[in-house]
Amino acid sequence: MHRFRNFIPRSKLSKWSIKKLHQPSHLGASLSTTRFFTIDVDSEIPTKNNFEHDCLLKYQGRIHLPPKEFERVPAGQSLLCEMLPDAPEIISRKLSTEKWDKHVDKYSGELFITNNSEPFDRQSQILFGLQTKIREVAQKCVEMGITIEEQKQKSAKMEITVEGEKQKCVEMGITIEGEKQKSAEMEITIEEQKQKSAKMEITIEREKQKSAKTEITIEREKQKSAKMEITIEREKQKSAKLKTGWEKERQEINMGEFIKAKKFFSSLSRGRNRRKLSPQEEILAANRNRNAHRLDLLISIKQVTDTQYRDLNLGLVFEALYGISQEEVKHLLKLDKRCHRTFQVEKIVGYHGTLYARQIPSRFLQPFKQWLEGVRKVKSQIDDAVELAACQGRTATIISALNSSVDDKLLQEVKRSGRICKETYEDDNKQAAKRTNAHDEAIMTDLRERELLSKFKAIQVRQRKQDKLKRDSTSVDVDAETYSE
């Protein structure tokens, strides 16, 4: 350790953390303010004022020179009175015996006198080195400050990022909490669905049991139904037999009425001459007596066209009984069907046949003729309208034809005549059948007007000729057999 005293500006020494020690006394007017400090030569860093006893005075003395004048320092005045008790004597002796030189401090540029400038030059070098290191340290500190500032900025950015991440985490936490709530709600919903599913399974199981019972019941019902179908089939067969028998009976009844009417018309045509019935006619007439006067129009149409009865001339009998030929009644039935049974053709024509068969048609003939004439006119108008529509390339229904082309007055007259026919039939048919001259006269007049009576006479003449030919051929055969014998 070496102790020096030197005049150093406070601004320079403050960077080295130099401690103020003591203010020494002045050597007249030539000495300026002096400060004491110690330097650790090994570390080159200023330390506290703890100098050693073996430090030589020649390494410690330095007297500053004024800028313009220099005064000799008187001997005996103490410079470092605070350093050593005998400092004034040592300094006075040194100043009187040794040579002092003027010297310029290399570091501060100050002028001073000293008896040994070497330590001061070394001090200046040390100070220069310290200043350089201080500058380097300061530069490093500045760089470190920049780095620290950058680190602070990075840290601030990191804090902002962390804050953002925290915010995101908070939002994520909120989202997660919401998802947890949704998940909890979903779990509750799933649990409810499981409960519903369990209830549904129980219900399905019950329904399966019910279905099994129902299947058993259905199987039993099928067995019952099979038995019922067998019974129904048997009943159908019985019904078919009954229907067949009834149909056969109806045909027999109807044919019996035809034979009765033929016999009646024949009797009217030949006057008092009577003719016997053929064997076939006798059988049919006998069958008729079981249930008389029950004519059916549709059955009559079939029997007239049946080849089985072609030799009986039933077409003429049909026209006499029903007041209309079978061909015309077919056309009127077709018309009435297309007009939704507006004219009641089947019923009214059937009324005529029934009353004629009972030989009491006198009151019914006039309204029937009016009704039949009106229906024929309606048919003619409808046929003309349909034919016109067909020529124009249009299709017209019967109802539209009625609405557009049939005279409304005529239509109402036909309907009124039909109602009169129905009322007359119901009144007359309730009475007991009693043949009178009035009824016979009305029937003969009607047959003459329709030119049917002459046709029955012609049939009788032709029948008599056929009978005579049969008798003659029979007698010839008998004579031939007798001659051969």
In the predicted model, what is the mean pLDDT of residues 250-272?
A: 73
E strand segments, 72-229: 101-104, 111-114
How many residues in the chain? 485
pLDDT of residue 372: 95
Residue 229 to residues 217, 223, 224, 232: CA-CA distances in angstroms? Answer: 18, 10, 8, 5
In the predicted model, what is the mean pLDDT of residues 175-190?
A: 85
pLDDT in tens, 34-85: 434 444 444 444 443 443 333 333 344 455 444 544 344 444 443 444 445 5
> Percent of the chain at pLDDT above 90?
15
Whether the predicted pLDDT of 3 surpasses 60 = no
Structure tokens, 130: 């310290």
Claim to verify: residue 472 and residue 387 sit in the same structural domain? no
Exposed e or buried b for every residue in 128-137, given b needs 16+ CB within 10 A? eebeeeeeee
The answer to whether residues 405 and 385 touch, using CB atoms and an 8 Å cutoff, is yes
Claim to verify: residue 474 and residue 421 sit in the same structural domain? no
Exposed e or buried b for every residue in 215-246, given b needs 16+ CB within 10 A? eeeeeeeeeeeeeeeeeeeeeeeeeeeeeeee
Residues 6 or more apart whose CB falls under 8 angstroms from that of 35 comprise: 5, 6, 7, 8, 13, 18, 20, 21
Claim to verify: residue 446 and residue 465 sit in the same structural domain? no
Q: Please give the mean pLDDT across all residues of the chain.
A: 74
Claim to verify: residue 317 and residue 388 sit in the same structural domain? yes
Whether the predicted pLDDT of 292 surpasses 70 = no
In the predicted model, what is the mean pLDDT of residues 132-138?
A: 85
Which residue among 116, 149, 166 closes a domain? Answer: 116
Closest CA to 374 of 326, 443, 421: 421
> Percent of the chain at pLDDT above 70?
66
pLDDT of residue 399: 59
Claim to verify: residue 470 and residue 346 sit in the same structural domain? no
In a domain, 325, yes or no: yes
C-alpha atoms less than 13 angstroms from C-alpha of 267 in its C-beta half-sphere: 11
β-strand partners of 103:
112
Boundaries of domain holding 360: 312-450
112-121, 357-366, 442-451: least confidently modelled range:
112-121
102-116, 337-351, 355-369: least confidently modelled range:
102-116
**20 or 346, greater pLDDT:** 346
In a domain, 133, yes or no: no
Claim to verify: residue 38 and residue 61 sit in the same structural domain? yes
Structure tokens, 454: 């002459």
pLDDT of residue 368: 96
| Distance of alpha carbon 319 from alpha carbon 349, whole angstroms | 11
pLDDT of residue 278: 67
**Strand order from edge to edge, sheet including 111-114:** 63-64, 111-114, 101-104
In a domain, 340, yes or no: yes
Which residue among 86, 116, 146 closes a domain? Answer: 116
Question: What number of other Cβ atoms are within 10 A of residue 363's Cβ?
Answer: 16
Claim to verify: residue 34 and residue 93 sit in the same structural domain? yes
In a domain, 287, yes or no: no
Which residue among 82, 116, 150 closes a domain? Answer: 116
Closest CA to 72 of 113, 122, 41: 113
pLDDT of residue 162: 76
Claim to verify: residue 468 and residue 399 sit in the same structural domain? no
Claim to verify: residue 369 and residue 317 sit in the same structural domain? yes
Claim to verify: residue 23 and residue 94 sit in the same structural domain? yes
Using 50, 70 and 90 to split pLDDT, how confident is the model at 453?
Answer: confident
Using 50, 70 and 90 to split pLDDT, how confident is the model at 396?
Answer: low
Whether the predicted pLDDT of 260 surpasses 80 = no
Which helix (DSSP H) or strand (DSSP E) does residue 38 occupy? Answer: strand 35-40
In the predicted model, what is the mean pLDDT of residues 252-263?
A: 76
pLDDT of residue 359: 84
pLDDT of residue 433: 62
Question: What number of other Cβ atoms are within 10 A of residue 413's Cβ?
Answer: 17
Structure tokens, 341: 């049974």
Structure tokens, 287: 């069958």
Whether the predicted pLDDT of 444 surpasses 50 = yes
Using 50, 70 and 90 to split pLDDT, how confident is the model at 401?
Answer: low
In a domain, 321, yes or no: yes
| Distance of alpha carbon 175 from alpha carbon 163, whole angstroms | 18
In a domain, 364, yes or no: yes
Give the 3-state secondary structure of residue 300. helix
149-163, 323-337, 397-411: least confidently modelled range:
397-411
In the predicted model, what is the mean pLDDT of residues 421-443?
A: 82
Using 50, 70 and 90 to split pLDDT, how confident is the model at 216?
Answer: very high
In the predicted model, what is the mean pLDDT of residues 13-40?
A: 39
Whether the predicted pLDDT of 225 surpasses 70 = yes
Whether the predicted pLDDT of 370 surpasses 90 = yes
In the predicted model, what is the mean pLDDT of residues 280-295?
A: 59
Using 50, 70 and 90 to split pLDDT, how confident is the model at 4?
Answer: very low
With left for phi above 0 and alpha for psi between -120 and 50, is residue 109 left, alpha or beta? left
Claim to verify: residue 436 and residue 467 sit in the same structural domain? no
pLDDT of residue 255: 76
Number of structural domains found in the chain: 3
Whether the predicted pLDDT of 118 surpasses 70 = yes
The answer to whether residues 352 and 326 touch, using CB atoms and an 8 Å cutoff, is no
Return the HEC string of 341-392: CCCCHHHHHHHHHHHHHCCCCCCCHHHHHHHHHHHHHHHHHHHHHHHHHHHC
In a domain, 225, yes or no: no
Give the 3-state secondary structure of residue 113. strand
